[in-house]
Structure 1
Amino acid sequence: MDKNLIALIKILVKKSYITRTDLEVETNCSKRQITYRLEKINDLVEAKKLPPIEYGNQKEIIIKTETKNFLIEILRKSYNDKFYYFDKRERIIYLYIMLFMNLEYLSLQHFMSSLKVSRSTILNDLKDLKQELAKENIKISNSRSKGYYISGPELDIRGYMMKLVLLSLEDDHNSVVFDSIIDDYHLESFQFSKKTITELANKYKIHFVGDRLDEFIYIFIFLKARLKNHKNLTEEYLGKPNLDIISEMKEYKFTGELLSYYKDTTGFSEQEFHYITAWILAVSVGNFAEETEDKPIISEIVDRIMIRFEVLSGTHYNEGPEIFKQLYSHIRPAYYRLLFRLPIYNPLYPKIKEEYSELFLLVKETMKPLEGLFDGEIPEEEIAYLTMHFASIYSKKRDYEEVVKKNALVVCSNGIGLSAILYNELKEMFTDLNFYLPIDAVKFKDFDKPVDIIFTTEYQLHLIEQNIPIIKINPIINPRERYEIIRQVYTLLDLSVFKQPSLESIMEIIWKYATISNPTQLYSELLSFFSSSFKLKNEKKEKGYRLIDLISEDCMNLGIDAKDWEEAIRISGNSLVRKNKVTQDYVEKVVENLSPYFVITPLVALPHTRPEFGALSYSIGITVLNRPVEFGNNEKPVKYIFFLSSLDNKKHLPAMSDLLHLLNQKSFFEMLDGTKDKKAVLEYIRCYTSQSTISSSTME
């Protein structure tokens, strides 16, 4: 079947509510192209004597249940169709997997025969693949004796294969290219491997995160094929810590028993056993209640992260043990991903970095001292997942309302942090719905409570078979998405509260009586307008304080002499006491609870304590010493003290983001050292804040 039709059918079965305009935007196709493809789909539908898809210029597209089920069946068959032709991206994936498995000799003719395309197509695809791989430190070469082959660091070669699997399966679980490779090269079947791995996972009580099981199976099949051709880890593996601990884990026993089910695995080295074990750990849930050999190591890392984040952000945990467990569940698999350079795919990374910019920066700064453990910078996609965890910790909460009309369930395939954000976002949007606590997608089949609507982060075909309205949603919602989600929910559940007119109807009226020079921009602005009007009466966006808002001349001490750390803290804190920003008890509590973590970067300390100990306002005092003093018992010298007072865990976060940016500017310290003019300091910070490109948005 035409791949354009398949792509359109995917969108149609995903959405519970969609318009023609939405299809044009999402597919980047013209009105004429969409109309043509809908007509072609309706030809198939009517041939089966099913109700056709109803569509108009701007109106909602209506698909009857029996028609939608037919379209789902078309999708299933398309993936198994022997006449299915790969697109360019799928061909590139196929080529890399062939090279990855390191078959004895690969020529252009091998590629052409496998993919059933011309020589020129293969050459163009190889050219594009070479450009991609060059960014990954991997090279494609060609010789008379070897044919085409890849070379480079083995961990990078494996990591790129894993990345391709992750990205492809993220796209509506499209595994057709991998299934074709398995069939073409007579590898172990996916179903056999899935049955074996599932049984062993149950035996050893290993719980894979969401859909990571399918990813694990495909990666395992291709990795095993490469290992059979003696492409093993060598010097790259040396120096990895805690390998002796890995050998004692249940995941290591799982690996040994799993490999025993297959031929030609007896020669795999101990290094490969460790590698596969680490990979299993990287895609499974960390359970703090389980006494594992690595628990002390992971717990120490989580503890360091929590303390440093608390100091850097000026926030304080109210539910420390629960937060610790939540972070532990993410940090344990992340530890092994980072240690063995295993890839991670976070589709929400760009939105998280944009929408939670201050929090993202704070989390990134929090993780810097841990980079030494992993021989390099921590990928921002990992930072984004951690940001989601901290965002869920500080999300606004509403009191539970007894009177509810409908039951809603959040089904998530990507872990606790993402589902927590989604859960809190939706509770804010729909206070008249009863939300059950989020569940993992694999647990949905065992969920026995009444559900009227499902929200999910990743559409799955088995969910729609329940005949329950399903809405796919990102946890970070822009105005367009917000409008669509609210309309879907109130329309699908027939809730009378929804009183807003249809945007599509308004657009249709405008089209009828006016000439629109830029319909896309008009549609976008109307979306923003209607989305803002949906906000709850008591819901107000809190912009938060920038750094300049929290600093005053009266709370500055420049060019100060202090005999020790305690005097330096008291000088800085007492200036806030005089301006009624904190009480004297607050200063005493800071002195009493002095922590080495207050030293957030060389020569810089950020002391603070809980608001309930005497914070009266939001404020940051600046003290610059003439000579550094040793801070507490950790013998770290400190010259610059930023004494913080805040009343909650949120409004001051933009200011903390500003401060972290400033602390990376050499000119900022040169200015502090070179002046005793408090107005000059204020003006420097004011200019910086006004020119900063940091988004002023904060967590909602």
Structure 2
Amino acid sequence: MGEREEQILNELIKDTSITSSKLADKYDLSRRQLGYTFQKINNWLTESQLPEIERTRKGQFIIDQSILTATVTSKVSPISNREVILSEVDRVKFLLIMILGGKEPLSLAHFTSQLSISKNTVLNDMKQAQNHLNAYQLEIQYSRKDGYQIEGDEFQARKVMIWLANDIILHSDEKEKLHEALQLEGSLLEQFHRRLERVENKLHIEFTDEKLMTMPTIFSLILRRIRKGFQIQPLSIRYDELSNTKEYQATEEILYDKSLPVPEKLFITLNLLTGSVHRNQLLIEDSIPDLVPAIDKMVRLFEKNACIIFQDREQLIDKLLQHLTPAYYRIKYKLTDAIVFESTYNEEFEQIRHLIKRALEPISEVMESKIPENEITYIVMLVSGWMHMQGESMTEKVKAIVVCPQGVSVSRLMFHQLKELFPEFVFLDSLSVREFLTYGLEYDVVFSPIALETEKNLFISKTMLRPEDKQRLRKQVMLEVYDYIPNEINVDDILKTVGQYADVNDEKQLRKELYAYIHRDENATITRQLSTSMELDLHEFIIPKHITLRESVPSFEDAIRLCAEPLLKSGHIEQHYVEAAIRHSQEDSYIAIGPHVAIPHAAPEDGVRQVGMSLLRIKNGVTYGEEGHQIKLMIMIAAVDKQQHIHALMQLMKVASSETILPKLVQANSKQYIHQLIEAYVRGS
């Protein structure tokens, strides 16, 4: 075999899952060249009395176990004694880490000798290396005295160096070549390895296997940069946050004989924190006190969204805690780009990722940052694995989407109503029609107030569902999806039967309790735990001082300004929020949620300081929209996020469709009476 054939076969033996397209890209081969290469490899295998390697139509390889066994046990050796030539990508990595962690000043001659390439190839690789450094605002410079150097912020330079060391050591067979190129002393590396293991036992922390493999090299490179005069700036890392951690103690134990300034100790501590696992959960709770309840809340939200209940929840939370503790420091100090995912995932994995993202808000609040995609992938892996372990699968669940053209608030309300009506479905998203046309996830059912072109089950649903609408829609959907109609138990029939044999002191309360029992949800306790801490009722938002009474108003725009005044005075909103709400009402007529009720609003970023609502009663009404709605109740909504006001908004939807309370609110003559009516309706419904 020739050199190219040896490289390709060696690559296949290292990674049997690699595809022909990836091999062609890595070694810059055409389809014909790759085919010719495999013809030569198979000829060599036949001569060695081994089966040939086969290729599938999808470009994957079928390699007989006897080939792997023969090469591992050295019965045959496809690799000659001559040095394997690095690909361009690997050369760029070596070039960068040699500049960052080299022992002496480097010239072109060093690179040509170490990497076995020409000067022109080195110069071309330098351009590729600079392209990689641009994202870190680092620049390759050359001088006769110092050779090639990388200039810029030292924190960024260290990030690149550590990423390269991790990548080369963990993802290739070039560890020895790396140590040779950097002239690292084997005795020093072994010393650091022994110290890491000793510290684990002494301080009751556990480093990941990957950290134990890479940290001795990284320690050596950091110390080398410090000796060369490259040091971390003092204000880059907060002392008070890291100095009381077990990892800071570990740094001092491992480097006890090295005289290091405090910022350097903190930097090394940070890198230990991103790869350590505490054996004692109390230590984690002390260092990041809000993380455990945030994980618990995230898991509950995911359970609710995915219609599942995790077995052994505490163990799952502990697993997530072990990952998210080092992730906290990776995210806080922008070290997450050290983790790279190259794999593609199946549809179920992407659906779980989608639902995880919707449940991540509690974690983001603790992290004080958006969670990066690569960290989310780790979380999805853990949750997905836990689901499969207990026999749960997204593919077996009915997945639904809601497509509504009637503005954000109405769309969300419709989404929440349907989610309550069909607790056995996984509701993926609420979409506009344009979003629906390009939606990427797999789904089974579509709910929409309008006809849509789709091959999936489409159910036309009103945006506001009355009790009889809900009953009719549920029967229709269950018959279509599951081929049966669920038995409905009539509460009134039960009350009549009970009344024949017993005295009922509070029929209204009994009706409510019976209905709640018949339509109970196994997740109800979870739902209540979430709602009690997060959700306010409608009457808690619309308090008397937020209510305005008028017989008439000149225009709909004037009505919005009047309605907004209480929220402006109380500091819930800024003036430009009112202007944005007026513009929005002119563009979107769907803020009318009934013939006499409108909910003007704008986006949170348009000037909302605090979540709130205000009500304007217009006894004679004001005309709005092309349909000529006579609006008599206007409720301005100021939302800071997508959640806090939804519970109250759903109660408002019921008020808007009620034939009993709505006329009373319009005719009411005092703010206190309106508030009492709303509170009584909410508590009684």
Give the TM-score normalised by the residue count of structure 1: 0.53
CA-to-partner distance for each residue in 1:462-493, whole Å, 9 max, x for gaps? xxxxxxxxxxxxxxxxxxxxxxxxxxxxxxxx
User: Pick from 666, 673, 676: which aligns with 2:593?
Assistant: 676
**Hey, what's the Cα distance between the residues in 1 that align with 2:219 and 2:80?**
22
1:332 aligns with 2:332: no
- Letter of the 1:52 counterpart: L
Paired residues of 1:308 and 1:366 also in contact (CA < 8 A): yes
SS of 1:211's partner is helix
C-alpha distance 69-275 of structure 1, shift in aligned 2 (>3 A): same
Counterpart of 2:470 in structure 1 is none
User: Pick from 347, 353, 360: which aligns with 1:360?
Assistant: 353
Paired residues of 1:79 and 1:176 also in contact (CA < 8 A): no
In the TM superposition, 1:135-534 aligns within 5 A as 135-182=135-182, 184=183, 186=185, 190=189, 193-202=192-201, 204-239=203-238, 242-246=241-245, 249=246, 251-260=247-256, 266-287=258-279, 289-292=280-283, 294-298=284-288, 300-308=290-298, 310-311=300-301, 314-315=304-305, 317-319=309-311, 320-343=313-336, 348=341, 351-352=344-345, 356-364=349-357, 366-367=359-360, 376-395=369-388, 397-398=390-391
CA-to-partner distance for each residue in 1:352-391, whole Å, 9 max, x for gaps? 5975445434434544565576675432101221223333
C-alpha distance 233-674 of structure 1, shift in aligned 2 (>3 A): same
- Letter of the 2:262 counterpart: E
**Hey, what's the Cα distance between the residues in 2 that align with 1:56 and 1:317?**
45
Give the drift of 1:328. Answer: 0.9
C-alpha distance 55-636 of structure 1, shift in aligned 2 (>3 A): farther
In the TM superposition, 1:545-694 aligns within 5 A as 552-555=462-465, 594-598=531-535, 671=588, 674-676=591-593
**Hey, what's the Cα distance between the residues in 2 that align with 1:168 and 1:34?**
26
CA-to-partner distance for each residue in 1:418-438, whole Å, 9 max, x for gaps? xxxxxx89999xxxxxxxxxx
**Hey, what's the Cα distance between the residues in 2 that align with 1:190 and 1:427?**
51
**Hey, what's the Cα distance between the residues in 2 that align with 1:138 and 1:10?**
32
Paired residues of 1:344 and 1:382 also in contact (CA < 8 A): no
Paired residues of 2:114 and 2:181 also in contact (CA < 8 A): no
SS of 1:148's partner is strand
C-alpha distance 74-396 of structure 1, shift in aligned 2 (>3 A): closer
Give the total of aligned pairs: 455
Paired residues of 2:133 and 2:139 also in contact (CA < 8 A): yes
Paired residues of 1:233 and 1:271 also in contact (CA < 8 A): yes
Paired residues of 1:207 and 1:285 also in contact (CA < 8 A): yes
Q: Percent identity?
A: 19
CA-to-partner distance for each residue in 1:25-49, whole Å, 9 max, x for gaps? 76466675455434544676677xx
**Hey, what's the Cα distance between the residues in 1 that align with 2:594 and 2:316?**
43
Counterpart of 1:414 in structure 2 is none
Give the drift of 1:125. Answer: 1.1
**Hey, what's the Cα distance between the residues in 2 that align with 1:334 and 1:588?**
32
Q: Which runs of 5+ in 2 are unaligned?
A: 398-441, 450-458, 468-508, 542-562, 574-582, 600-685
**Hey, what's the Cα distance between the residues in 1 that align with 2:465 and 2:262?**
61
Counterpart of 1:92 in structure 2 is 92
C-alpha distance 63-230 of structure 1, shift in aligned 2 (>3 A): same
SS of 1:135's partner is helix
SS of 1:149's partner is strand
Paired residues of 1:327 and 1:389 also in contact (CA < 8 A): yes
C-alpha distance 186-671 of structure 1, shift in aligned 2 (>3 A): same
Counterpart of 2:656 in structure 1 is none
Give the drift of 1:74. Answer: 7.0
Paired residues of 2:242 and 2:270 also in contact (CA < 8 A): no
C-alpha distance 296-232 of structure 1, shift in aligned 2 (>3 A): same
- Letter of the 1:207 counterpart: E
Give the drift of 1:164. Answer: 2.1
Give the drift of 1:129. Answer: 0.8
C-alpha distance 242-78 of structure 1, shift in aligned 2 (>3 A): farther
C-alpha distance 79-325 of structure 1, shift in aligned 2 (>3 A): farther
- Letter of the 1:555 counterpart: L
Residues 322-331 or 103-112, more deviating: 103-112
**Hey, what's the Cα distance between the residues in 1 that align with 2:251 and 2:344?**
37
Residues 156-165 or 101-110, more deviating: 101-110
Counterpart of 1:51 in structure 2 is 49
**Hey, what's the Cα distance between the residues in 2 that align with 1:426 and 1:354?**
9
Give the drift of 1:95. Answer: 1.9
| Structural RMSD (CA) | 5.2
Give the drift of 1:146. Answer: 3.6
SS of 1:555's partner is coil
Paired residues of 2:199 and 2:254 also in contact (CA < 8 A): yes
**Hey, what's the Cα distance between the residues in 2 that align with 1:636 and 1:598?**
21
Paired residues of 2:168 and 2:175 also in contact (CA < 8 A): yes
SS of 1:242's partner is helix
Counterpart of 2:629 in structure 1 is none
**Hey, what's the Cα distance between the residues in 2 that align with 1:64 and 1:350?**
24
**Hey, what's the Cα distance between the residues in 2 that align with 1:280 and 1:82?**
38
Give the drift of 1:134. Answer: 0.4
C-alpha distance 384-64 of structure 1, shift in aligned 2 (>3 A): closer
Counterpart of 1:520 in structure 2 is none
- Letter of the 2:244 counterpart: I
Give the drift of 1:94. Answer: 1.9
- Letter of the 1:51 counterpart: Q
SS of 2:344's partner is helix
Give the drift of 1:331. Answer: 1.0
Q: Bigger radius of gyration, 1 or 2?
A: 2
SS of 1:554's partner is coil
Q: Which runs of 5+ in 1 are unaligned?
A: 400-423, 429-540, 558-573, 605-625, 639-665, 682-700
Paired residues of 1:349 and 1:384 also in contact (CA < 8 A): no
Give the drift of 1:130. Answer: 0.8
SS of 1:285's partner is strand
Residues 201-210 or 53-62, more deviating: 53-62
C-alpha distance 180-305 of structure 1, shift in aligned 2 (>3 A): same
Counterpart of 1:532 in structure 2 is none
SS of 2:207's partner is coil
**Hey, what's the Cα distance between the residues in 2 that align with 1:193 and 1:37?**
44
Paired residues of 1:101 and 1:229 also in contact (CA < 8 A): no
CA-to-partner distance for each residue in 1:622-644, whole Å, 9 max, x for gaps? xxxx77999xxxx9979xxxxxx
SS of 2:85's partner is coil
Counterpart of 1:686 in structure 2 is none
**Hey, what's the Cα distance between the residues in 2 that align with 1:61 and 1:88?**
24
Counterpart of 2:3 in structure 1 is 2
C-alpha distance 42-72 of structure 1, shift in aligned 2 (>3 A): farther
In the TM superposition, 1:55-134 aligns within 5 A as 55=53, 67-72=67-72, 83-101=83-101, 105-134=105-134
Give the drift of 1:234. Answer: 1.2
CA-to-partner distance for each residue in 1:326-360, whole Å, 9 max, x for gaps? 21111112122223332355555763597544543
Give the drift of 1:96. Answer: 1.2
Paired residues of 2:295 and 2:321 also in contact (CA < 8 A): no
**Hey, what's the Cα distance between the residues in 2 that align with 1:79 and 1:680?**
76
